[in-house]
């Protein structure tokens, strides 16, 4: 019984560890340029400000506000991932995996807050996922052209 319990605990922990390693590898993908900037500006997303505040100024975390901000940005970006310049109008496999990863980290953010374990690393993780999504949307939007205008130019001109 003790051996089975140990195997259960260690294997479950390693399962989540390898899941995280996979997601982190996907997030390491380099884009040719910072496509996310135009998307952040056009949609007034707030995650870069949250990240900057935590990384550069080591500001204290206003948990309810940060949680709401990240959730709203996630909803906006997941909508854009599916609908902005996406001919198939569906998520790719890695997008689905990262969306699952976002939900898992978001759940653990709540847990860490409840247990007072510090939320900073989880929040930075979440902003990295959002930045990846914004980069993907930005790249797609830049690639698709409407007449002489790129979709990002169109969005910025609104």
Partner 1 sequence: MVDWIGKYGLSPMIYLIEVGLLGFLILRGHARRLISILLYLASLLALDGIARPYVWARYGLSSREYAYFFWVSDVALTLAAFVLVCALFRRACQHLEKRMWHDVRRLLTLVFFLVLGISYLVLSQNFKNLFSQFIIEFQQNLYFTCLVLITLLYVLMQKVEPVDDELTLLVSGMGIQFAGPAASLALLRLAPEEGIARFLATYVGPLCTLGMLLIWFYAVAQTPKSIAVHGLGRKDPELAEAVAREA
Binding residues for partner 1, rule: CB under 8 A, are 1, 4-5, 7-8, 10-12, 14-15, 17-19, 21-22, 25-26, 28-29, 93-94
Q: Which is nearer to partner 1, 66 or 129 (CB)?
A: 129
Q: Which is nearer to partner 1, 25 or 44 (CB)?
A: 25
Q: How far is the CB of 69 from partner 1 (least distance, A)?
A: 30
60, 52 contact by CB (below 8 A): no
Q: Which is nearer to partner 1, 17 or 79 (CB)?
A: 17
Nearest to 45 by CA among 131, 104, 146: 131
What would the two tokens of residue 9 be? 């605990």
Q: Which is nearer to partner 1, 29 or 65 (CB)?
A: 29
36, 44 contact by CB (below 8 A): no
For the CA atoms of 91, 97, 99, 103, the dihedral, rounded to the nearest 10 degrees, stands at: 150
Nearest to 122 by CA among 136, 101, 137, 100: 101
Q: How far is the CB of 7 from partner 1 (least distance, A)?
A: 4
Q: How far is the CB of 6 from partner 1 (least distance, A)?
A: 8
Q: How far is the CB of 5 from partner 1 (least distance, A)?
A: 7
């Amino acid at each position: 019984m003790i051996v089975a319990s140990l195997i259960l605990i260690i294997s479950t922990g390693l399962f989540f560890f390898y899941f995280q390693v996979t997601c982190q590898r996907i997030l390491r993908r380099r884009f040719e340029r910072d496509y996310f900037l135009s998307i952040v500006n056009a949609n007034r997303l707030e995650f870069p400000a949250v990240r900057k505040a935590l990384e550069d100024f080591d500001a204290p975390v206003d948990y309810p506000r940060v949680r709401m901000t990240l959730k709203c940005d996630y909803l906006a970006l997941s909508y854009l991932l599916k609908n902005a310049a996406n001919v198939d109008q569906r998520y790719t496999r890695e997008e689905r995996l990262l969306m699952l990863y976002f939900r898992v980290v978001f759940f653990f953010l709540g847990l860490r807050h409840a247990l007072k374990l510090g939320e900073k690393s989880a929040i930075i993780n979440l902003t990295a996922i959002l930045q990846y999504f914004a980069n993907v949307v930005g790249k797609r939007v830049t690639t698709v052209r409407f007449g002489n205008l790129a979709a990002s130019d169109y969005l910025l001109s609104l």
